Structure 1
């Protein structure tokens, strides 16, 4: 079941490549990191988000699909008006 859920997450993210997202990730020690970026690429085990530059330099981060499943990482789609909607994990 978990393997199938991971596959569904990967499939869902593949359709969002190039989309603007808000990334909310657990930074450890009760810290939550929130950054805007673009979903850049998906790979067999991870996906990459190119973050907006805070100081003029670009930064890329990668997370596993299991991070999305366990809600360690949340992705929210951003529309042109600045509103966000949470990427929903397909229920099995």
Structure 2
């Protein structure tokens, strides 16, 4: 079941490659890290986000689909029509 869940998350992200996203990641010790960037590419196990260099020290960050599944990372797509949160919802 988890394998299908990861592929569903990947397919959801595939539809938003090239779009601006907001990442909320668990930074440990009750810290939440927020980053804004563009979903650059998706791979079989990870996705790459190109960050806005004016706001962040890093050029790119990568996260696994399991990070979304375990809710360590929350991805929100920012578009003209509104915001879409990508997460794993159990039935």
What is the root-mean-square deviation in Å for CA atoms of aligned residues?
A: 2.1
The equivalent of 1:5 in structure 2 is 5
Q: CA deviation at 1:71?
A: 0.8
* Preserved contact between residue 17 and residue 40 of structure 1 (Cα < 8 Å): yes
* Preserved contact between residue 40 and residue 50 of structure 2 (Cα < 8 Å): yes
Provide the secondary structure at the position in 1 that maps to 2:84.
strand
More displaced 10-residue stretch of structure 1: 10-19 or 56-65: 56-65
Q: CA deviation at 1:91?
A: 4.4
Deviations 1:58-84 (A, max 9, x none): 520000000001110000011238x53
Give the alignment's TM-score, normalised by structure 2. Answer: 0.86
Provide the secondary structure at the position in 2 that maps to 1:11.
helix
Structure 1 position 35 matched with structure 2 position 17: no
Count of aligned pairs between the two proteins: 91
Unpaired segments ≥5 residues, structure 1: none
Provide the secondary structure at the position in 2 that maps to 1:9.
helix
Deviations 1:18-52 (A, max 9, x none): 01000100111211100110000011110001111
Give the alignment's TM-score, normalised by structure 1. Answer: 0.85
The equivalent of 2:83 in structure 1 is 84
